[in-house]
Structure 1
């Protein structure tokens, strides 16, 4: 696929986050014809509250999030695992882009999840939860993209096998055929 934009939601706010660094690697190593853009400012998006979700006065950070996801062709979460599930910041972002239900910015968009965490499971549960939440929000989960990598035995930022799996995940997400999946 050519001219595809993938918006990346990073599930960690930490400045030295391994997952943020992985997202930056994916931006730098995007396949030809694919633009990978990290959605910044998730720390500025208030917790979803329907009282705040007023079209005439939506919080600016939430409006920017919806706009960036709305302009993207695909969405990729790059996230660690917190207490056996996805981080609150990622869940909150999915909540904001899921509204209005059935018409949210993520509706109908292919959605994948990758990431690393210093546990033996590599974020598996967080990734499953993120896919489930995105699916309920109306996104199209692309399970072939999921890469849950343990950071216990390898340096995920330099290991060629890990980086190959992650860049391949971006390629699979970019090439995902939404028309044949709807059939």
Structure 2
């Protein structure tokens, strides 16, 4: 397999969030030849507005996201759950990434969605909402690649995700499946 790049979007804007730590742990377990890069700056992207989404004047944060997405072979979304759904910053990033509709860099790109949340279901509602939005945007959502970690505040109170053997093994599996999807997409 040739070298592959995976852009990682973290739905939480907190620097020390467990989802950020989960994304960092995923980058550590990537197989040889696969690089995961966390996209910084989701909090600096203005709310999507078609009036400012005009060639030559797209806001800098949105343009940077689109450029990073175009350069990536796949996307990994790591999201918490905010009030039972997807965080606004992540939904906004998906909206910007989806344009121009049908021709954006996200179309046909393999995407996996994972995450952790304090609740007993580990953020599955937010993950399902993210998969739905990404699929509508045209991404190739890997429906069978899932990882929800419940009780994140308690589970990771003393141990970070990168030091949790069970989490590391599950992350390794997620990244391997995403890597395989990249190979399938390239071969197609």
Q: State the TM-score bracket (shorter-chain normalisation).
A: over 0.9
Instruction: Say how many residue pairs are matched.
Output: 181
Please say which of residues 20-29 and 110-119 is displaced more in the overlay: 20-29
* Normalised TM-score (structure 2): 0.91
State the 1:179 CA deviation: 6.7
Contact 1:121 1:149 in 2 (8 A): yes
Gaps of 5+ in 1: none
Extract structure 1 runs of 4+ deviating beyond 4 A.
none
State the 1:154 CA deviation: 3.2
Q: Which residue of 1 aligns with 2:169?
A: 164
Aligned with 2:167: secondary structure?
helix
1:178 and 2:179 equivalent? no
Please say which of residues 2-11 and 150-159 is displaced more in the overlay: 150-159
CA distance in structure 1 between the aligned counterparts of 2:120 and 2:149, rounded to whole angstroms: 8
Contact 1:2 1:32 in 2 (8 A): no
Q: Which residue of 2 aligns with 1:129?
A: 129
State the 1:28 CA deviation: 2.1
Q: Which residue of 1 aligns with 2:48?
A: 48
Aligned with 1:82: secondary structure?
coil
1:62 and 2:77 equivalent? no
Contact 1:114 1:166 in 2 (8 A): no
CA distance in structure 2 between the aligned counterparts of 1:27 and 1:61, rounded to whole angstroms: 23
Gaps of 5+ in 2: none
* Normalised TM-score (structure 1): 0.93
